């Protein structure tokens, strides 16, 4: 599962917790990873991965988002990832909890 690979990679390169699900306690800064789409063409798999950077302020969430983008630019060093491309990123503050968050969507080609 590519989410597990991305979560582990981010855990090894960031100083904040990285989760597959939003934790019960949403205080402080953390990152969540979720596959939101994918394709299989000519035996080549790709996934759209949403990486959400959560923090107490929008500025901190934006800074964490920048760290995520820098880290994932190097994900092609992984044996099973051949491409990791940033499609888009934007402010995505949680309207229910008012917790600051940014979201970056990556296209990840893997095998």
Helical axes 58-72 vs 2-13, angle rounded to 10°:
110
pLDDT of 16 over the 90 cut: yes
Q: State how many domains the chain has.
A: 1
- Range 85-104 average pLDDT: 96
Give Dmax over CA atoms of the chain in angstroms.
43
User: Where do we find the tokens 């296209």?
Assistant: 107
Q: What is the pLDDT of residues 32-64, one digit of tens each?
A: 999 999 999 998 999 999 999 999 999 999 999
Instruction: Give the global pTM.
Output: 0.94
pLDDT at 111 over 90: no
Nearest Cα residue to 68 out of 23, 111, 17: 17
CATH number at residue 35: 3.30.2000.10
Residue 101 is part of which domain span? 2-110
pLDDT class of 1 with cuts at 50, 70, 90 = confident
């Amino acid at each position: 599962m590519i989410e597990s690979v991305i979560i582990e990679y981010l855990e090894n390169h960031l100083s904040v917790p990285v989760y597959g699900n939003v934790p019960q306690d949403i205080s402080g800064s953390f990152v969540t990873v979720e596959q939101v789409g994918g394709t299989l063409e000519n035996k080549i798999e790709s996934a759209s991965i949403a990486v959400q950077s959560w923090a107490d302020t929008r500025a901190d969430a934006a800074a964490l988002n920048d760290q995520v983008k820098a880290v994932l630019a190097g994900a092609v060093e992984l044996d099973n990832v051949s491409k990791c491309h940033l499609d888009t990123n934007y402010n995505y503050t949680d309207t229910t909890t008012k917790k600051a968050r940014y979201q970056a969507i990556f296209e990840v080609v893997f095998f």
